[in-house]
Structure 1
């Protein structure tokens, strides 16, 4: 099984979150792969909008019955997910 690999930008804040989510969701939708991996290793400047983007991608993948995996979350993003109570929805893959 092949995997589509998507990478979050370094800066993901309220101002660019909608555009980022639209782009990622289109990539998920248009990918012929049944598995999608989102890497967050480059993410350095972000706010809670990053969580909204990841949750939106999760919903998109689920609606298409695709497997979505998350990789390389910065520690601050993990903390933010815990704070907002969504960490169980954004589980990182090994």
Structure 2
């Protein structure tokens, strides 16, 4: 399981994406689950990071889901039309 940080805004997005991509490389089997429960402060950059994680998981033939998403993240994903792609 991959864990998001408490803050994921444009400022943290690049480093967070890099760390998540490295973690995905280290775990090559099974479902990719990203735990979003730590998120407290975020913007649309969080969606971009999650979509990239999803893309990487799918490229390796692995299922992907986001767990424990805060209500605000789910609402933001729905607003941008990607809710069904990210939030399980």
* TM-score interval for Structure 1 and Structure 2 normalised by the shorter chain: over 0.9
CA distance in 1, matches of 2:75, 2:31: 26
Quote the residue 2:69 is aligned against. 73
What are structure 1's unaligned runs of at least 5 residues? Answer: none
After TM superposition, which residue ranges in structure 1, 4 or more long, deviate above 2 angstroms? none
TM-score in terms of structure 2 length? 0.94
When the two chains are superposed, the root-mean-square deviation of aligned CA atoms in Å is: 1.0
TM-score in terms of structure 1 length? 0.88
CA contact (8 A) 2:34 2:66 kept: yes
Instruction: Choose between structure 1 and 2: higher strand proportion.
Output: 1
**What aligned pairs does 1:10-89 form with structure 2 within 5 A after superposition?**
10-89=6-85
- Return the offset for 1:31: 0.6
CA distance in 2, matches of 1:60, 1:34: 13
CA contact (8 A) 2:3 2:35 kept: yes
